[in-house]
Structure 1
Amino acid sequence: MNKFWIMTTHTYLSKLKTKVFFISTALILAFLVLLVNFESIILTFAGEDEDKIAVLDESGELFDLMIIQENNDELILEPFIQSLEEGKALVSDGSYDALITLDLNQEGLPEATFYAKNMSDSQLQTKVQQQLQQLKTTLATAQLGIDQVAINEVFSPIAMDTVALNESGKSAEEMNQARGIVYVMLILLYIGVIMYGSLIATDVATEKSSRVMELLVSSVSPITHMFAKIIGIALLGLTQIFIFVSLAYMMLQAKGEQLSEFLGSFGLQDASLTILLYGILFYLLGYLLYATLAAMLGSLVSRVEEANQMVTPIILLIAVAFFLAMFGMNVPESSIVTITSFIPFFAPMLMFIRVGILDIPIWEVFLSVGILIGTIILFAIVGAKVYKGGVLMYGKSSSFKDIKKAILLTRKE
């Protein structure tokens, strides 16, 4: 056990001092800064929020009605009494964002023409169209003798309460909180497996290329060395997560925004402790499963370039699991989600979705976790044999047939 912790500490500290760790951490920190301040950055580059619109009212009565009903703070409507060509010229030189000509058709309803320098700003067109639609509705209801208050009452959203007949079923608020946690955990698991799984495989290949591996496997057992590397890099990942969370918290404090408000925007405020514990459990089990595979496959190659090729199937597996999870977020009760939640490669994501969103029997959770743990143990046993023989195999290797060679090499020793 002493050798295990020595190797774990060595793996952790050696990776902590590398340029790759500092560069990846700096890039993710920069992304976090961008994410937290995204709205401010957009507003800075966007300039003024209000759009200045010139209105050429050929009917002589529609503009006044638009001003009376205007409820859009992002539109500034100004009357325009000059010619149409002069209005187009002012739009072209940027004096106005757009020009609208208004008139009444034969039915006494408004019709309009929209002029802009280009049609790339679809949001502006939508705002103007909504304003004109409201104007048309006002005039049409007035012609029919219908009170505007009655119209508003007709189009107001219906009040509908939701009641779960299953007493143990989750409420709408609990479902939203569960979805928020599930989203966060899925993304963390997806990114964590890709980043740290690849790091484990390349680290093993790097040690083999320097011939350090031969000395290591002669002093400690392969399974000790393999899991020391897995745990060491897991600690490295936890260090990065701690740095990211600390920075995000400090930025929120600097902006004067409370942590509860930020978590509330993702539906994570007052989240269930049970769901959080399930999230941590499935995250750790998912990491161990894929990390064990990455270490096993990384032991078969001698170059970093080949290591990246060998972990491609792992990345494809986690990608399939992620897309299934995104599908399962909307239909968690579907058969494909239920079945895949018991398949070890997909269980960390799919079973977590079912636990977080649905009310499922506890035996299904235990069965999925048991299958997952059993698969990890199986891969650990097989992986240790492959690892022991694989670390002594040199030369070009990118075929899964080398797994059999590594096991045979282990038996000969």
Structure 2
Amino acid sequence: MNRLGTVIGFTFRQKARTKSFVITTLVLALLITIGMNLPYLISLFKGEGMGGAGGSGKSAAEHHRLGLIAGSRTEIADQLEQFTKAQSNPAATWVRYDNAQAPAMQQALKDGELQGYVEFAQPTATGEAIPKVEYVSVEKAPSPAVITLLQTGLQEAKVKAMIGGNALTREQVREISTPVTVDSREVNSPSEAGHAAGTGDKEASMINYGLVYVLMILFFTSSMMTGNMIASEVTSEKSSRIMEILITSVSPLTQMFGKIIGIFLVGLMQIAVFAAVVCTNLMLPHNSVILSSAGLDLSQLNTTVLGFGLVFYILGYFLYAVLFAAVGSIVSRTEELGQAVMPITMLSLAAFYIGIFNIAAPDTMFVKVAGYIPFFSPTVMLLRIGLERASLLEIWLSLAILVASILFFGWLAAKIYRTGVLMYGKRPSFKELRKAMKAYKI
């Protein structure tokens, strides 16, 4: 056990300090940061961000000052101003003027203090609730956010005017103006449709769809990076003849499992770094505004998916890791490693693509069967868990098959590793490998 801990610690320190690992981690963290802040960076270049317009730090509303020409429609103008003030991050601020020819407004337009003005047309019909509205700008058309503010605010004013007076509160008016949302869900049989109203089944939210995507991508990239790291480590030690010295002090099995666990800890550290980068970026003010405007609430994250995702990641890692270690032990030159690990890489790619391409169809028979195949279950079963399509019995059965597969392939990899690390020259055939394996007991 002491020797196993020594191998684990040595492997962890050696891999965590390599320039390739540090540079790869920093580059990926930088790409994650750029990707998460790309909308904000684009808005800065367009002068629409929080720090746009010369980096003054003004809000979007302060950069969109619009004149409001009420005319005889002072009540509607008052309601529009009240609606705008009630917004947490309004798209514009209003400056009231008597008419469009007011000298102060003309000077403000000339100096760039106003980007345009909104004017209510004279009513053309008796009892018209909301007159036509005209937006006049000096140089460019209004942004979609300003148009949305106008339409929503005037719609609320229209509903209130048609119902009459202050009979309804602002919340009631907003509720009337809000379109009805229609959700849909699929059932496997007509008998389930009769219970649709009482079951209260929750549709997977967008935030959980995104979580499933991230976890599947994370498993694929991490398993490929760490797996190739294990195989290349074993092959390089074997090709440089260092392996002959190592096995005199540490048994081959201790070496194999020590490398697997050590590199597993390196992978966990890298994931922790990425998680810290993501959380830090999500806490930035402009990203929280984007999430709220998109209707995404991080409190909707499914902790069950996170828990099972961690379990499937650990088990899936060890399944692929023992295979990479076994393949690396039978390769004598690093130039041959890429071709040797190709079958394992294809299995990992298949698991990734089955999960990604079936995220819209998690109930097909193909996906259900793939969830019990150990090479595919880390991503496919995670997909079904994230979309709430897997029962607890199916999850535990998939986990049991995965654990049994790890034990079997771990035993097989140990026998291959025990014999392969001392076999030099051309890659051994299956017949030669089987004969050599029979000579050793695990």
TM-score, normalised by the number of residues in structure 1: 0.66
Matches within 5 A, 1:324-335: 324-335=354-365
Instruction: Give the corresponding residue for 2:411.
Output: 381
**Partners of 1:363 and 1:251 in 2: how far apart?**
37
Match of 2:377 among 347, 368, 378: 347
* TM-aligned CA distance change 1:27 to 1:161, over 3 Å: closer
Deviates more, 1:219-228 or 1:278-287: 219-228
**Partners of 2:46 and 2:335 in 1: how far apart?**
43
Q: Given that residues 291 and 297 in structure 2 are in contact (C-alpha distance below 8 angstroms), is that contact kept between their aligned partners in structure 1?
A: no
**1:283, CA displacement in angstroms?**
1.0
Q: Which amino acid in the other structure matches residue 333 of structure 1?
A: D
**1:293, CA displacement in angstroms?**
0.8
Instruction: Give the corresponding residue for 1:76.
Output: none
Instruction: Give the corresponding residue for 1:402.
Output: 429
* TM-aligned CA distance change 1:333 to 1:217, over 3 Å: same
1:184 aligns with 2:214: yes
**1:238, CA displacement in angstroms?**
1.3
Q: Given that residues 328 and 337 in structure 2 are in contact (C-alpha distance below 8 angstroms), is that contact kept between their aligned partners in structure 1?
A: yes
**Partners of 1:271 and 1:41 in 2: how far apart?**
26
Q: Which amino acid in the other structure matches residue 202 of structure 2?
A: S
Matches within 5 A, 1:354-369: 354-369=384-399
**1:302, CA displacement in angstroms?**
2.0
Instruction: Give the corresponding residue for 1:171.
Output: 202
Partner SS state of residue 307, structure 1: helix
* TM-aligned CA distance change 1:343 to 1:169, over 3 Å: farther
Aligned residues: CA RMSD:
3.5
* TM-aligned CA distance change 1:267 to 1:395, over 3 Å: farther
Question: 1:197-225: CA deviations, max 9, x gaps?
Answer: 11111111111122222233343343322
Partner SS state of residue 10, structure 2: helix
Match of 2:340 among 310, 326, 330: 310
Q: Given that residues 15 and 266 in structure 2 are in contact (C-alpha distance below 8 angstroms), is that contact kept between their aligned partners in structure 1?
A: yes
**1:43, CA displacement in angstroms?**
3.5
Q: Given that residues 220 and 349 in structure 2 are in contact (C-alpha distance below 8 angstroms), is that contact kept between their aligned partners in structure 1?
A: yes
Q: Given that residues 324 and 350 in structure 1 are in contact (C-alpha distance below 8 angstroms), is that contact kept between their aligned partners in structure 2?
A: yes
* TM-aligned CA distance change 1:266 to 1:199, over 3 Å: farther
Instruction: Give the corresponding residue for 2:28.
Output: 28
Instruction: Give the corresponding residue for 1:145.
Output: none
Q: Which amino acid in the other structure matches residue 27 of structure 2?
A: L
**Partners of 1:177 and 1:382 in 2: how far apart?**
40
Q: Which amino acid in the other structure matches residue 204 of structure 1?
A: V
* TM-aligned CA distance change 1:224 to 1:344, over 3 Å: same
TM-score, normalised by the number of residues in structure 2: 0.62
* TM-aligned CA distance change 1:3 to 1:259, over 3 Å: farther
Unaligned runs of 5+ in 2: 50-90, 92-140, 145-161, 163-177, 186-192
1:208 aligns with 2:256: no
**1:253, CA displacement in angstroms?**
4.6
1:411 aligns with 2:408: no
Partner SS state of residue 37, structure 1: helix
**Partners of 2:208 and 2:279 in 1: how far apart?**
22
**Partners of 2:324 and 2:296 in 1: how far apart?**
32
**1:176, CA displacement in angstroms?**
3.6
Question: 1:314-361: CA deviations, max 9, x gaps?
Answer: 221111111111222101111110111111111111112122213433
Instruction: Give the corresponding residue for 2:43.
Output: 43
**Partners of 2:280 and 2:13 in 1: how far apart?**
26
Match of 2:261 among 231, 246, 252: 231
Instruction: Give the corresponding residue for 1:5.
Output: 5
**Partners of 1:329 and 1:304 in 2: how far apart?**
37
1:293 aligns with 2:328: no
Q: Given that residues 4 and 254 in structure 2 are in contact (C-alpha distance below 8 angstroms), is that contact kept between their aligned partners in structure 1?
A: yes
Q: Which amino acid in the other structure matches residue 11 of structure 1?
A: T
Partner SS state of residue 330, structure 1: coil
Instruction: Give the corresponding residue for 1:193.
Output: 223
Q: Given that residues 228 and 324 in structure 2 are in contact (C-alpha distance below 8 angstroms), is that contact kept between their aligned partners in structure 1?
A: yes
Q: Give the length in aligned residue pairs.
A: 312
**Partners of 1:47 and 1:337 in 2: how far apart?**
47
